[in-house]
Amino acid sequence: MTAEDIKNGQVIIIDKPLHWTSFQVVNKLRSAIKKKFKFKKIKVGHAGTLDPLATGLLIICTGKFTKKIDSYQAETKEYTGTITLGGTTPSYDLETEVDKTYPTDHINDELIKEATSKFIGEIDQIPPLFSAIKKDGVRLYDLARKGETTEIKSRRITIYEFEIINIIIPNVDFRVVCSKGTYIRSLANDFGKSINTGSHLSALRRTKSGNFNVNEGISPEEYTNILFGDTKS
């Protein structure tokens, strides 16, 4: 790998670790690239944000390939994860604590599997208040963390596949294939409502995006080691 390779454009497939923000991954890789090749500046960006509590596929682009970010972001995504039934959280995941609890005695495997059909196809989805969407120039999660609320418009998204992998109530493991702009946290929240309970997302992993697969990914540390020759590139 040369300085020209980086400038002309590289796609780096990262398996994002838990608790890292997508920006932290970009920042680490950019800093390493600048140090390695003695760049004063270099364009590095990611194609699709992952929440800190999510792991998995993060597509990083360098140099001229940053122009491809929009097209990569538009690709179909695949996720696996766990929905926990019986309680909601303000963020729809584990970033915030459970604020309301609901009964789950009426829920069985058949009810859960049948409910997935309600979400297949084009649906209107309201993004979480705890999200990076901007309203009047302010990120919604900044408002949410201050305790402020605001009206959020629904978005038309597409769920191509929604498969239940395992059920050990209150936890439901799933696989979802969906369009750009889908919030799996919102899907988890809405899923609970569809079976007359509350729910939240307790684990999430992005496994595919377009033709890219997380199996091809490496950690930010592994990329840095490769870059500096600790492992053969």
Q: Which residues are catalytic?
A: 51
Burial of 197 per CB tally in 10 Å (0-12, 13-18, 19+): buried
DSSP secondary structure of 119-182: GSEEEEEPPPSSSS-EETTEEHHHHHHTT-------EEEEEEEEEEEEEETTEEEEEEEE-TT-
Query: What's the token pair of residue 95?
Result: 């970033």
Q: What's the N-to-C CA distance of the chain in angstroms?
A: 8
Which residue type sits at 180? K
DSSP secondary structure of 23-48: HHHHHHHHHHHHHHHT-S---EEESS
Which residue type sits at 146? K
Provide the β-strand partners of residue 209. Answer: 77, 212
CA distance 74 to 69: 9
49 DSSP assignment: -
